[in-house]
Amino acid sequence: MQTYTNKALFLDRDGVINHDPGDYTMKLDEFVILPDVVTTLKKWHDLGYLLIVITNQGGLAKKLYPETEVEAMHQYFQGQCVFHGFEIEAFYFCPHHADFTGKCLCRKPGSLMIEKALHKFNIDPSQSFMVGDRDRDVQCAEYAGVKGIKIDTNSKIPQLQDIL
């Protein structure tokens, strides 16, 4: 029988953590963290949840922006979190797009990114959540045995009492 040591809050990126302009967030100067995201994530962290970002980045396959921009956005966000006393445990992103690279297992609604994190960090899926703004985010979570929560794009991440 599997013994787990961690629980996690998985987060979609665009539209949940940062403002989604409707197409792609292609450059660091377009990466605008939504209000209250950092303070809400700090509360989850303080309750013992690992925080893990799970994001499709199909713009990479379309060659709309380079991977260095994705990494710069993630480093910036991590810096904001560290400034507030916590860290994002990991950032997982899928660089594929079915129209450009064919189908893959990591692109949401596929669950490979979550499955990798579950294994790497010994996370109990039944004690974990995924917050996303698309049906594919919820499907991805459910395929991995994690509870999926759909919110409106560019809205607030639900407060702890709304989920627990």
Active-site positions?
A: 12, 14
Distance (Å, whole) CA 67 – CA 28: 12
Q: Are 7 and 124 in contact (CB under 8 A)?
A: yes
- Burial of residue 137 (number of CB atoms within 10 Å: 0-12, 13-18, 19+): buried
Q: Where are the alpha helices (DSSP H) in the chain?
A: 37-46, 58-61, 67-83, 98-101, 112-120, 135-143, 160-163
